[in-house]
Amino acid sequence: MPHNRNMYCLIEDRISEAGPDPAFVMADGSVVTYAQLGANVGQMANALAATGVKPGDRVTVQVEKSLPNAVLYLACMKAGAVFNPLNSGYTSAELDYFLGDAQPTLLVCQRSSLAVLAPIAGKHAVKATLLLEPDGTGSLVDLSKTQPNEHTTHVCAADDLASLIYTSGTTGRSKGAMITHGNLASNTEALCATWRITSSDILLHTLPIFHVHGLFVALNTTLSQGARILWQPKFDLDTALRLLPEATLMMGVPTFYTRLLSSAAFGRETCRNIRLFVSGSAPLLAETHVEFKDRTGHAILERYGMTETGMITSNPYASDGRLAGTVGYPLPGISVRIAEPDGKVLGAKEIGVIEVKGPNVFKGYWRNPEKTKAEFRADGYFITGDLGTIEPDGRLSIVGRAKDLIITGGLNVYPKEIEDELNAFPGVGEAAVVGIPHPDFGEGVIAVLAKAAGADGERIETEPQIIEQLAGRLAKFKCPKRIFIVDELPRNAMGKVQKAELRARYGQTFK
């Protein structure tokens, strides 16, 4: 039998060793052991087969976080299917695009969205639709309970697809990043080694699991080591304060840490058993890093990654090596360099585009070979689109983004999509969307609208009216938090809108 490179094998090996040990401690205090987890995954994998899902088929999932949702992810890997999670905030227009592009065999959704999704699924010939509710019930779970526990893990090559994650790109249209079993396994092993994750760890898991941080980084690392997960549906300050003393490890976005700092009850005693705090998905403000260390004695470990690559760099495990405002050094087996847009490689301390190569780098964009080719150098380096600089010792700092991508609350927002919507409003001559510093979300989305020339400029709608109408077209996290109306947008000699000037002009909006 050929060697199996299925990512699930790393977890399956641990399940057999850790049998009676707790895998998940639920919000109500109940415990799911590793043995029970393995049985549930086996049942779920058989349920996938019963619905007609074959290896390589996509399973599109738009549900709230629940344990069966995590089990479904593991079962897709075990069965060789491709897990395609979607943010539960996406609108019908967005979902129409995703289902048409991914062409899944199975759609898993909630009853509350079935009326909207059923016609879209029918339009795109999705073979089966099953329900999974936030409380962990639904027709998918009912079906899995009728299935046997035993399921032979599908034999995968390292470059077989494990997941399809949609991410924003230069066209403003989301693209499916093809994440392989080899990508996930290599990144899992590198992170476990760098962050020293063991079976003794207890992770406080409050992240969503529709994107890389909560799904791959948090679940793959802890489950592959037989660690325990304190499973929460979302971040809640009071719950976090209550559970942190039980945990050794927390992974979060900057918003989580600013909210902890907002509580007078948060301090050294709360963190008495914590071994490591990790922050990612958005830039951590240096002042947050400093305040957190002053309050708790812990230096938050910031790392750098993206959908297409998983984690790329990490600050050192040794707390005195974690420098605020930097994202550390390349993980084992990963090479990072700085280059000009034309590909010329730059030296230490020079600012340029971050490029990365390694077993963590995705296979390419789903059914988009032209875009894939455009984002890779001839020697295999992936062009991240982020701007950075590398110190002589290899430490990376991010100084901006070559693309206009906005990261708000750990989620990617591409301005062009929002600008296209705004430009269709009466009285709007041109819209410019930028991200500016936000104390809670890292970046807050704002829009600046220039009035149309002539009489049309007098009929532009008010800020509340525009935001209300956008809410029906865009996911909530994409909607601007503020809209400003001006006579004209700043432009350079070539007529290009100067977004840097807008960021400077409105940079204090959320202060």
Residues 96 and 473: beta-carbon distance below 8 Å? no
Instruction: Report if residue 267 sits inside a domain.
Output: no
> 428 and 387: one domain?
no
**Sequence-distant (≥ 6) Cβ neighbours of residue 83 within 8 angstroms:** 59, 61, 72, 73, 76, 77, 162, 163, 164
Number of domains in the chain: 3
**Sequence-distant (≥ 6) Cβ neighbours of residue 469 within 8 angstroms:** 425, 461
Question: Element (H or E) spanning 370, and its range?
Answer: helix 369-374
| Tens place of pLDDT per residue across the chain (511 aa) | 468 999 999 999 999 899 999 999 999 999 999 999 999 999 999 999 999 999 999 999 999 999 999 999 999 999 999 999 998 888 888 899 999 999 999 999 999 999 999 999 999 999 999 999 999 999 999 999 999 999 999 999 999 999 999 985 434 578 999 999 999 999 999 999 999 999 999 999 999 999 899 999 999 999 999 999 999 999 999 999 999 999 999 999 888 998 999 999 999 999 999 999 999 887 787 888 999 999 999 999 999 999 999 999 999 999 889 998 899 999 999 999 999 989 999 999 998 899 999 999 999 999 999 999 999 999 999 999 988 899 999 999 987 666 677 889 988 787 878 988 998 899 888 899 999 999 999 999 999 998 886 544 457 889 999 999 999 899 999 999 999 999 988 976 445 688 889 999 999 999 8
Q: What is the CATH number of the domain that holds 369?
A: 2.30.38.10
Give the helix ranges, DSSP H, for 128-208. Answer: 139-145, 181-195
> 388 and 436: one domain?
no
> 42 and 142: one domain?
yes
Give the helix ranges, DSSP H, for 124-210. Answer: 139-145, 181-195
| 3-class SS of residue 456 | helix
Measured between alpha carbons, how far is 183 from 187 in angstroms, rounded to an integer? 6
> 104 and 205: one domain?
yes
> 49 and 85: one domain?
yes
Cross-strand partners of 225: none
Q: What is the CATH number of the domain that holds 498?
A: 3.30.300.30
Instruction: Report if residue 489 sits inside a domain.
Output: yes
**In which residue are the tokens 């049309």 written?**
456
| Domain around 281 | 276-401
> 280 and 228: one domain?
no
Give residue 495's pLDDT. Answer: 54
Give residue 455's pLDDT. Answer: 46
> 61 and 101: one domain?
yes
Measured between alpha carbons, how far is 119 from 290 in angstroms, rounded to an integer? 51
Give residue 454's pLDDT. Answer: 59
> Residue length, the chain?
511
Give residue 401's pLDDT. Answer: 66
- How far CA 502 is from CA of 252, 405, 451, 494, 508, in Å, comes to 29, 15, 16, 17, 11
**Sequence-distant (≥ 6) Cβ neighbours of residue 136 within 8 angstroms:** 66, 67, 68
Cβ neighbours around 292 below 10 Å, total = 23
Q: Which two tokens stand for residue 500?
A: 């840097």
> 298 and 221: one domain?
no
End-to-end CA gap in the chain? 60
Give residue 493's pLDDT. Answer: 47
Cross-strand partners of 364: 178
Measured between alpha carbons, how far is 366 from 311 in angstroms, rounded to an integer? 20
Give residue 429's pLDDT. Answer: 83
Instruction: Report if residue 3 sits inside a domain.
Output: no
Give residue 179's pLDDT. Answer: 98
Do the strands 364-365 and 175-180 form a parallel or antiparallel pair, or are they unpaired? antiparallel
Give residue 282's pLDDT. Answer: 75
> 360 and 472: one domain?
no
Domain boundary among 173, 200, 234: 234
| 3-class SS of residue 397 | strand
**Nearest alpha-carbon partner for 144 in 155, 154, 131, 134:** 131
> 71 and 220: one domain?
yes
Q: Which two tokens stand for residue 45?
A: 């994998």
**Nearest alpha-carbon partner for 313 in 322, 321, 304:** 304
- How far CA 7 is from CA of 80, 149, 180, in Å, comes to 10, 19, 9
Four-residue CA torsion sign, 99, 102, 105, 109: negative
**In which residue are the tokens 């325990």 written?**
228
